[in-house]
Amino acid sequence: MEISFDQLQKTIGIHFNNQELLKQAFYHRSYLNEVKQIKESNERLEFLGDAILSFLTSLHLYHQFPQYPEGTLTNIRSSVVKTQSLGTAAKKLGFGELLFLSKGEEEGGGRNNISLLADSFEAFLGALYIDQGIDAAALFLKTQLFPQIISIVKNKTYVDFKSYLQELVQETHKISPNYDVVKTEGPDHDRTFWIEVKIGQKTLGSGIGKSKQEGEQQAAKNALEKMGRL
């Protein structure tokens, strides 16, 4: 491992009182099949961290954006806590190198799997809450995740571009747009998708994403921009 638990704690400026609890946040369930002395994975911590993440993100957005209604705040929160956002934050912190995985999971690219990284982020947050309380959890999110909010709001990535485009197209053409994958690159755990959105044979826009859903959203956004709707 290129990063140790000591280095991680120095990086984030937090020292766990319970070091075993910290490690538990990185025990993937596959690891338990190979190391019998470990009895519990990080899934219960992930469950707790998910709830804490939702609460603290909601609280932050409520105070940060008093001008936005409930619906907009909900959409922004969804963008902040989605798998891609959490996985990206976890990857920057080196969480992938700290995961305890089975040999099969590791050989399958588990350390770079965005979903596993996102799960570890939530588990870590749950462990941090148990170890040091809500204020430490809030500070961690403020420094390691919430900076993404600036970009999310600026680029309006919280908008459901697909739904918006579908409403417009159905209103004018009485049909729904279609999304085609025109190209993919990369291994299964780190694939990139090129997407085009069309009406019949006419291309309305194109987009790139690390998942089909993200690529479709970007294609819809590009189409809306061309239509002068954004």
Which residues participate in catalysis according to the annotation? 50, 122
Alpha carbons 210 and 114: distance in angstroms, whole number: 10
| Structure tokens, 219 | 């294609």
Nearest C-alpha neighbor of 122 from the set 20, 50, 206: 50
3-state secondary structure of 176: coil
Nearest C-alpha neighbor of 90 from the set 131, 122, 132: 122
Q: For residues 138-168, b (16+ Cβ closer than 10 Å) or e, as one string?
A: bbbbeebbbebbeebbeeebbbebbebbbeb
Q: Quote the longest CA-to-CA distance of the chain.
A: 63
Q: For residues 58-88, b (16+ Cβ closer than 10 Å) or e, as one string?
A: bebbeeeeeebeeeebebbbebbbbebbbbb
Alpha carbons 180 and 202: distance in angstroms, whole number: 12
Measured in Å, how far apart are the chain's first and last C-alpha atoms? 45
Q: Report phi then psi at 220, rounded to 5.
A: -65, -40
